[in-house]
Amino acid sequence: MTGRNRRERGAVRLDPRLLIGIVLVAGSTIGVWALVDGLDDTVDVYVARETLTPGAELELDRLDVESVRLGTAEAGYLRVDDTDDGLVVTRTVGKGELVPAAAVGDADATGLSVVVVPSRGTLARGLDAGSRVDVWSARAKDRGGFEAPKVLVADAEIAGIVEDDGMVSSGGASVEVLVPSDRVAAVLEALATGDAIDLVASGSGD
């Protein structure tokens, strides 16, 4: 037996059909992966964990993140990968809603300020963050009593409610109300002079 024959017997021969099968399997696997990757067009967007009201700073760590498929509407919502700090809420976003990109902006975009108004009694049922209210004021008279009430701020929005947990409770709550900048001075003056201030759900009275 020659040396050439011994080398040929010891060599491993690959069947061309096996090579073709390996190439086909590899190609199929890559094709399926590419297809699945192409179909996965979900994006991570922010979701309001609680109701967001105008004027509030947008705290990203207090938002939830959800992967959703938005298609052509993708640009209309606040995406996790293109959101900067220092934004504020410019319009109300309900609890559990996707945060629209148009609902946030710069701090000076709202034209609103938060003023804390103590409630003189129990708030009307259903009033909460995001509710619309009219701020009524009755000026205190020098000899006691009050003048006829009038609307101090119409259709204001409640930013939040802080319950009174102190030892001596007034029986009410402190309500954070979003007030237009040009009405802040009037509200603060009414509070400072001891005028009677009440919050009435918008549209519930004249």
Contact 41, 72 (CB under 8 A): no
Which of 198, 180, 58, 175 minimizes the C-alpha distance to 128?
Answer: 175
- pLDDT tens digit sequence for 44-77: 889 999 988 887 888 888 899 988 877 776 778 8
- pLDDT tens digit sequence for 70-111: 777 677 888 888 777 778 888 888 889 999 888 888 766 677
Contact 94, 48 (CB under 8 A): yes
Query: What CATH number is given for 43-108 in this structure?
Result: 3.90.1210.10
